[in-house]
Amino acid sequence: MAVLDLRDALNQALKEEMTRDESVFILGEEVAEYNGAYKVTKGLLDHFGPKRVLDTPISESGFTGLGVGAAMMGLRPVVEFMSFNFSLVAIDQILSNASKMLYMSGGLFPIPIVFRGPNGAGPRVSSQHSHNMESVYAHFPGIHVMSPSNPADAKGMLKAAIRCNDPVIFLENELNYSAKGEVPDGDYIVPIGKGDIKRAGDAVTIIAWSRMMNLAHQAADELAKQGVNVELLDPRTLKPLDMPLIAASVKKTGRVVVVEEGHFFCGLGSQIADSIYTNLFDYLDSPIVRVAQSENPMPYAANLESATMPSVAKIIQAVNQVTYRT
């Protein structure tokens, strides 16, 4: 067990999987000579060489298509987007080709490929570089969506993603790369589709993932001072959801708040809420409340950016609402 930050946990996962399986290789902008825009691929070029760590032109559609073709031929590409905002340039390759190739080929061509990189808003990067992409990719069949909230999960989830025979969207967060935590040594795997209870409680279930779990922890600490014991549930895999874990928590608490960084309308939280209403309605003691980004493009000004995003105060307000404390 070692204390690592999230970027180093991802680096460790990549190095272990590339050592274990020679078919794994990495490609993307600045992943090699520059050691990655966020240093996730630091040292991998020196260790594995330019045939397995490939710098690409600024052509997301081109190198994504190259990755899909390589996966069709039995390799296991890890495609890094410098930002998942830039995956929009390659979305046809991801959704029309990678996610559908197994179906369209009658099972002849599995696509073992991982698309990874930072998702959501960075500080002061405004409207065109702050998209939260999870609900977009989760909408389509044939693809898994994962998003870690801490270093241990980051390592175990990325290793599982690389070993998966289906396409995986692996959403990190720029503001989480420096988060530190204990990371198991060796071949540590977090299976796809398995969530985790990050904090046990009985008053309300907060479902959150990625950086929003950090805010949920802070909100839970404040609420505990008021005698409200919150349960924190991290789905980890956003598609497929771990509904048995969600069901067990909802049956225990009877109240749910869903926190997501994405926009409210058609956000992933709406699917989670629908799944709970459809399958667990009789166990709810209050309507589900969602905390999400407001319905506007991301402003540049810091004060307006803060007003747009979920916050600890907004989460506490939502918990007070479902527990009828306001």
d(CA 316, CA 222): 8
Pick the CATH number of 196-322 from 3.40.50.920, 3.40.50.460, 3.40.50.300, 1.10.1060.10: 3.40.50.920
pLDDT for 227: 96
Let me know if 129 is a catalytic residue: yes
pLDDT for 121: 86
pLDDT for 323: 96
Q: Which of 29, 60, 80, 172 is catalytic?
A: 60
Class of domain 2-183: alpha beta
d(CA 155, CA 184): 9
Q: Annotate 196-230 with DSSP letters as a single string.
A: EEEE--SSEEEEE-THHHHHHHHHHHHHHHTT--E
What are the sequence ranges of the domains in the chain? 2-183, 196-322
User: 3-state DSSP call for residue 301?
Assistant: coil
pLDDT for 253: 98
Using CA atoms, how far residue 289 sits from 185, 272, 318, in Å, is 38, 11, 6
pTM of the model: 0.96
pLDDT for 126: 85
Regions of the chain with pLDDT less than 50? none
pLDDT for 151: 98
Let me know if 217 is a catalytic residue: no
Q: Which of 30, 129, 139, 305 is catalytic?
A: 129
pLDDT for 112: 98
Fold matches, 2-183 and 196-322:
yes
pLDDT for 129: 87
